Chain A
Amino acid sequence: MELKEITCIVCPLGCRIQVEMEGGEIKSVKGYSCSRGLEYAKNEVTMPKRTITTSVRAIGGHLPLLSVRTKEPVPKEKIQEIMLELAKVEVKAPVKIGDVVVKNILGTGVDIIATRNLYVK
């Protein structure tokens, strides 16, 4: 039996969650206070995921950058690869908040979406 102690990052409460594992399987989860926390804890011991928030180059917009994020959390180990991929991306203004900037990034099944409006300069 292995006990893993996790701090939940879903919301600012920062619940401390204990997950009991045996042979790679989850035996019990304690200390969470919502269903999102339970899901986070389960993922964290099997496949930890994070939402990536960053920016990409923007052309002809009122700002030189467009802020973007992964629409859903992606596997933590992919973070660096995705950042390197996004370093190559350029978008042209105008862009609307929520627009897909990159579809299915690196085959993760997750889209990169704009998190702000970008107007033509």
Chain B
Amino acid sequence: MLNYDIVIIGGGPAGLGAAVEAYEKGVKNIVIIERDKYLGGILQQCIHNGFGLQEFKEELTGPEYAQRFIDKVEEYDINVMLETMVLEITPDRIVKAVNSKEGVFTIKAGAIILAMGCRERPRGAIMIPGTRPAGILTAGTAQRYVNMEGYLPGKEIVILGSGDVGLIMARRLTLEGAKVKAVVELMPYSSGLTRNIVQCLEDFNIPLLLSHTVIEIHGKDRVEGVTIAKVDENREPIMETAQYISCDTLILSVGLIPENELSQKAGIELDPITGGPIVNEMLETSVPGIFACGNVLQVHDLVDNVTAEARLAANSAIRFIREGEFGKSSIIVKAGNGIRYVVPQKINVDNIEKRIKFRMRPVNVYNNAMLVVKSGDKYLLRQKRQRLTPGEMVDVNLSKDILKNANFEEGIVFLVEEG
């Protein structure tokens, strides 16, 4: 059996960030396991810019951002296993993996960092009625075709969902000569970043139809068109508003799901809202010594935040292999009115050095609202926020001193107060 201090599962931005951080902090007996042929993960197909403003203070494309880390992995000669699939991890940190060279093999890990990322929600998950022709694909698949393989998946396109990848692809397909007829969004707001609405849709006069959805797909062998309709406040289609749009391709950008089959097999407890593991202030999952970071933990908007999270996971893993198990997390963190989820979901104040960052998403759009942290009836923090929207993750930093005022039994609650 192989032996590593830290085994990192996934060679995308989270795994790369964790590996580089661990190495720089002196833990060198580590390995990154990646199922693809190359490191970098999904960044390699995100050829648009906007990455790295926080991390490198410059605006990079996805491949450029990835390469900064890949260069370090190569410089440090960190062990990388490519085209290797992890089959199973166990609660006592045995990793079983397979590749075509070694066959099936096992690794004993001092600590494990989960960095498997997420995958796209497919058509089946949103149950659009209609036929099943060719020409229906997720935004990420379309992105791979256009940016990596060199194929244009269609010429007349409708995009369902206004997630960031969908918006980016609206622009990309337009630049490559396709006609994007509309971006259709079920919710009354976009789930993408405002800057992407401006530079991907408004720049190219692509209509964004909010509170609309696709109610039927037409075509036998190939998509011929879709019927869309406005939806009411219960998100039920209003049939009188139905209209037909002819198109040869329907692209879905309807959400991302953290990829946690391995975590589940290891008995790691998942958060039903985030789809990622429940973690404490060290980003440790419910299984001691197994940590999570990046999109496998919660779907991020910005890779810079993934890198920051990966660093924390790496430092926690190092502390675990040096000092052993952390004390029990005694304060439960809850999402209250207006907040969909908060990560981490539990904390132990003793493990926090100075302050801790909580990441969360609101359930709705709020303007000039107060973001509030309470413990029982006591206010720990009230912060004015100009704009809160589900499409943009919210950060709240709390200092150890503030957290010491929390009532352990009541836990702490994040919520939005309007007006």
Known: A14-B193, A69-B61, A83-B175. A9 touches B198 (CB 8 A): yes
Q: A54 — nearest CB in chain B belongs to which residue?
A: B175
Residues of chain B within 8 A (CB-CB) of A52 are: 175
Are B67 and A50 in contact (CB-based, < 8 A)? no
Out of A12, A79, A97, A117, which one reaches B50, CB within 8 Å? A12
Residues of A within 8 A of B146 (CB): 55
Could you say which residues of chain B place their CB within 8 Å of the CB of A12? 50, 53, 193, 195, 301-302, 392
Assembled-state Cα–Cα distance A54/B173 (Å):
10
B46 to chain A, nearest CB (A): 9
Q: How long is the Cα–Cα vector from A97 to B63 in the complex, in angstroms?
A: 9
Closest to B44 in A: A116
The answer to whether A116 and B64 touch across the interface, beta carbons within 8 angstroms, is yes
A115 contacts across to B, CB distance below 8 A? 47, 60-61, 63-64
- In the complex, A60 has a CB within 8 A of chain B: no
Q: Which residues of B contact A14 (CB under 8 A)?
A: 193-195, 198, 392
How large, as a class, is the contact surface on chain A? 20 to 34
- Bound Cα distance from A87 to B392, whole angstroms: 35
Within 8 A of B (CB), among A24-50: 50
Task: Please name the residue on chain A nearest to B67 by beta carbon.
Answer: A97
Determine how close the nearest CB of chain A comes to the CB of B41; give it in whole angstroms.
13
- In the bound assembly, the distance between CA atoms of A10 and B50 in angstroms comes to 8
1/0 contact trace for B356-395 toward A, CB 8 Å?
A: 0000000000000000000000000000000000001000
A53 contacts the other chain (Cβ, under 8 Å)?
Answer: yes
The residue among A10, A14, A54, A76 with the most chain B CB atoms within 10 A of its own CB is A14
- As a 0/1 sequence over residues 80 to 110 of chain A, the CB contacts with chain B under 8 angstroms (1 = contact) are 0001000000000000010000000000000
Which one of A51, A55, A64 contacts B49 once the chains associate, using CB atoms below 8 Å? A51
Pairs of residues from A and B, 5 with the lowest C-beta to C-beta distance, nearest first: A14-B194, A116-B63, A67-B47, A9-B195, A115-B61
Given contact pairs A7-B195, A51-B59, A117-B67, a sample of 14 additional A-B residue pairs in the complex whose CB atoms are under 8 Å apart: A7-B197, A7-B198, A9-B198, A12-B193, A12-B195, A50-B199, A53-B61, A54-B47, A55-B147, A57-B150, A65-B148, A69-B49, A76-B203, A116-B67
Query: Please, could you name 18 A-B residue pairs with CB atoms under 8 Å apart, sorted by A?
Result: A7-B195, A10-B53, A12-B195, A14-B195, A50-B203, A54-B172, A54-B176, A55-B147, A57-B150, A65-B150, A67-B47, A67-B61, A83-B175, A83-B176, A97-B63, A115-B60, A115-B63, A116-B67
